């Protein structure tokens, strides 16, 4: 069953609720009783398990670089990036 995030627009109560997909959307806040309890848009969380492409290619993260090297204004990759070792 999915977990949905709700937040009351009146009192600010934020709550995660375990619901079936077929369950109706909650509208009444459990704290203040107002009909301003709204479902929030959240990212789905998941975890990859077992062996696969993500484990051999992307797990660990020591060989990647998210930012250019310090002082490199031309967007050059840092020394740890694979692009830095293959650039000519």
Token pair listed for 72: 């490199």
For 26, the domain range is: 3-39
Ranges of H-type helices in the chain = 53-57, 82-86
Q: How many CA atoms lie within 13 A of 31 on its CB side?
A: 12
Interatomic CA distance for residues 42 and 50, integer angstroms: 26
Residue length, the chain? 88
Q: What is the pLDDT of residues 5-14, one digit of tens each?
A: 999 999 999 9
Q: How many domains does the chain have?
A: 1
22 found inside a domain: yes
Residue 25 maps to a domain: yes
31 occurs within a structural domain: yes
29-83 pLDDT, tens digit each: 999 999 999 999 888 766 666 666 665 666 565 555 555 555 555 555 565 555 5
Return the C-alpha torsion angle 27, 31, 32, 33, nearest 10: 40
For residue 73, tell me if it sits in a domain: no
29 domain-assigned: yes
């Amino acid at each position: 069953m999915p977990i949905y995030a709700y937040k009351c627009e009146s009192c600010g109560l934020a709550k995660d609720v375990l619901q079936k997909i077929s369950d109706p959307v909650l509208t009444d806040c459990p704290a203040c009783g107002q009909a301003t309890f709204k479902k929030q848009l959240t990212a789905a969380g998941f975890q990859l398990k077992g062996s696969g492409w993500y484990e051999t290619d992307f797990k660990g993260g020591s060989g990647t670089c998210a930012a250019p090297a310090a002082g490199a204004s031309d967007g050059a990759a840092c020394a740890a990036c694979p692009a830095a070792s293959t650039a000519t």
